[in-house]
Amino acid sequence: MTNHQEAKTSLLKPAIMAIALLLIMTAAWAKGGKAASKVVKMQDAQGKDVGTATLSPAAKGVAIKLNLHDLTPGDHAIHVHQTAKCEGPDFKSAGGHFNPDNKHHGLQNPEGPHAGDIPNFVVDVKGKSKATVVAAGVTLGDDPHSVFAGGGTALVIHAKADDNKTDPSGNSGDRIACGVVTK
């Protein structure tokens, strides 16, 4: 073997070791109970597709990356609801907000928030949103705050913004889109 070939081989060994270690760590992380991303299909009251919400683990809670279309422009509330059902046209089948700690509604409520309370997001003038919001009160694990608890939950978009304090739903208006969250 030439000196050039030996140098190449000595440089490749650490890179191969690093890749192998990364693969082992990734597999261990996945087995540790942390869920990978979950894509939720969102539909409107007539059952028409209005996009997706991708749930991923965040430093605290769950990041929800929205890729939505055909919604009314403006500020909208989004919440995790307690039941994994999205029957239109009113989506009442999704039940109330996901609330395993029996708190009051609202991110600004001193007696809250519900685990399913999430900051508002904006839909642009073309009816689209690519916002990312964080649901700090929920997880993708196997605990009581998991969006998969009790057979799953629903992600519900409301017609108006949430005032973040009024119980039980922040005066956020009708439920206009819904997606089922199950394993």
Q: Give 80-132 pLDDT, tens digit per residue.
A: 999 999 999 999 999 999 999 888 887 887 877 888 889 999 999 999 999 99
If asked whether residues 22 and 46 sit together in one domain, one would say no
* pLDDT score recorded for residue 80: 95
Q: Give me 98's structure tokens.
A: 């996901």
Domain that holds residue 25: 1-32
- The answer for 174, left when phi > 0, alpha when psi is -120 to 50, beta otherwise, is beta
If asked whether residues 73 and 147 sit together in one domain, one would say yes
If asked whether residues 68 and 25 sit together in one domain, one would say no
If asked whether residues 26 and 42 sit together in one domain, one would say no
Contact assessment for residue 80 and residue 98, using Cβ atoms and an 8 Å cutoff? yes
Q: What are the backbone angles phi and psi of residue 43, rounded to the nearest 5°?
A: -135, 155
If asked whether residues 2 and 75 sit together in one domain, one would say no
Quick one: 135 exposed, middle or buried, by C-beta within 10 A (0-12, 13-18, 19+)? buried
If asked whether residues 111 and 146 sit together in one domain, one would say yes
- Helix (H) or strand (E) holding 64, with range, is strand 62-68
* pLDDT score recorded for residue 18: 42
If asked whether residues 60 and 112 sit together in one domain, one would say yes
Residues of the chain with pLDDT under 50: 4, 7-9, 15-34
* pLDDT score recorded for residue 15: 46
If asked whether residues 103 and 159 sit together in one domain, one would say yes
With CA atoms as reference, report the closest residue to 175 among 88, 66, 115.
88
* pLDDT score recorded for residue 21: 36
If asked whether residues 27 and 51 sit together in one domain, one would say no
If asked whether residues 60 and 27 sit together in one domain, one would say no
